[in-house]
Chain A
């Protein structure tokens, strides 16, 4: 996969989970999770719905406390960027593309914006980076999913993040836009050395960029390079049933994930 695989290993982690565990009531989502997130690393988090992928992001954001173990964060709180999944804004939401990005610039500050010109310039720069200048003045409710997700990346980059936490940003996008959005995240990762934690249930669009995969399933998990995790043996062991992984060119096809989980996935989607 990525040629620089060994390079990120050397740098000190920006965030670490030490024996982290998360459970809701009696149901343990994952336990004993040791994870170092290093600068410039692209980590994909995979797993069926309900396996605790999004909860892991909430833990990293500090919005959800761990049930056991601890979280170490070595970067300031405001250096965490967050890219959410695409959502439907009402068509008359009073928020244009540039305003959505501006929320990332100074939306968290108290009071009223007084440096309008500076914010305008910063937003222009961010819009240009993600190629969204053409629709800067269009209300977000009238943008396509792909356009919205470009803005989300610009919005997250506004704080010059050292860690980019992405929560299924490709969901409900067509393949072309999945590739565009993945490439933008990767660009940030490589150019600025930003660590990326990318929650997704489709690995293929990000497969060319991924350094490591964290696969969560049925309370168990595996961490490793895509080759180490995404194979018939490892996934079969994780799911404790036969799961077949076929590699065809640059794509991975996974089949045989237990029925019950499939159902869960359909219901939530």
Chain B
């Protein structure tokens, strides 16, 4: 492939205005998923569930490919797959190590099932590919409505659980001592996670859900210690990645996921750099009495 055709397949802004108008629904879908991914991602990082997200998305993929094969609703298929996986992980209630090996066992099984269903599927090859890598589906109004309603329900649930879920995620022992239903919240969050994974898969595909559900939140944790700011930044990063990814991918012939992942990864790198610089300079908000006194002294006095 010569450089010219490489660039024109990656970036192509011909007839951009028309395309934009055509794919307005996709943009809205991307924005909604960005907000959802940014919010849920914060708890994924807090609860150390990154690997679980990956495992859930593989089973979600299996569900979606089965639905494709049977001619059923693909979104419903992926929803059933991911919610089943999330609840299984939540109900087992295992210690981190056991949980990780269970996910490691489930993941290839889900992926294998998905590939089996896809190879039996006789329809369009593009449909198969998009389940794994995502695409800018021409989201129609009905789909957009369904997405917005589901996402709104998930966010409403998050809002109700907000404070105790934070307590249980940040400080589980004390939360339990205070009477917070730690186990119930864990299960409720797995359900929220399952639904969020299934929704995100439509845009970024099963393999790259992490770019939406983890990278933005992980980046936010690198630059702030404030629980509120971490949420706002995570959402801002995720929306930038999805909406920016769609805008860049519009004209090209490539699935949307490499754009989304590249934007998220760049944001993460920048945040990591800022965090490292702050650690090096020791800026962590501590009020230093000695330093203040020294600064208050007139110059030249302290030799």
- List residues of A whose CB falls within 8 A of some B CB: 61-63, 77-78, 80, 82, 84, 87, 91-96, 99-100, 103-104, 106-113, 133-139, 142, 152, 155, 159, 165
Q: How far is the CB of A145 from chain B (nearest CB, A)?
A: 16
Is B49 interfacial (CB-CB < 8 Å)? no
List A contacts of B284 (CB < 8 A).
138-139, 142
Nearest Cβ distance between residue B103 and chain A, in whole angstroms? 21
B173 at the interface (CB under 8 A from A): yes
Residues of A within 8 A of B175 (CB): 103, 107-108
A2 to B222, CA, bound (A): 49
Residues of B within 8 A of A (CB): 42, 46, 159-164, 166-167, 170-171, 173-180, 220-222, 224-227, 229-230, 275, 279, 284-287, 289
Structural contact, A96 and B225, CB atoms closer than 8 A: yes
CB-CB under 8 A from B221, the residues of chain A are 92, 94
Do the beta carbons of B180 and A107 come within 8 Å of each other?
yes
Q: Is the Cβ of A135 less than 8 Å from the Cβ of B286?
A: yes
Instruction: Give B221's nearest chain A residue, CB to CB.
Output: A92
Looking at the assembled complex, report how far the CB atom of A123 sits from the nearest CB atom of chain B, in whole angstroms.
Answer: 13
Complex CA gap A150/B227 in Å reads 20
Contacts of A91 in B (CB 8 A): 279
- B178 partner, pick from A82, A110, A142, beta carbons under 8 A: A82
**Closest B residue, CB atoms, query A140:** B225
A113 to B164, CA, bound (A): 11
| Residues of the B chain whose Cβ atoms lie less than 8 Å from the Cβ of A110 | 160-164
A63 near B170: Cβ-Cβ < 8 Å: no
Residue among B46, B163, B180, B286 making CB contact with A138, cutoff 8 Å: B286
Chain B residues within 8 Å of A134, by CB: 286-287, 289
Other than the given A62-B179, A95-B227, A111-B163, 18 more pairs (CB < 8 A) read A80-B177, A87-B173, A92-B222, A94-B42, A94-B229, A95-B225, A100-B170, A103-B166, A103-B167, A104-B174, A106-B163, A110-B161, A112-B159, A112-B163, A137-B286, A138-B225, A139-B285, A159-B178
Complex CA–CA separation, A205 to B275 (angstroms): 39
- Please indicate the chain A residues that have their CB under 8 angstroms from the CB of B222 in the complex: 92
The 4 closest A-B pairs by CB, nearest first: A137-B285, A139-B225, A107-B167, A82-B177
Residues of A within 8 A of B170 (CB): 93, 95, 100, 103
Q: Which residues of B contact A165 (CB under 8 A)?
A: 177
Q: List 24 A-B contacts (CB under 8 A).
A: A61-B177, A82-B178, A84-B174, A92-B225, A93-B170, A94-B220, A94-B221, A94-B229, A95-B227, A96-B227, A96-B285, A99-B226, A103-B171, A104-B178, A107-B178, A108-B163, A110-B164, A133-B287, A134-B286, A135-B287, A137-B285, A137-B286, A142-B284, A159-B178
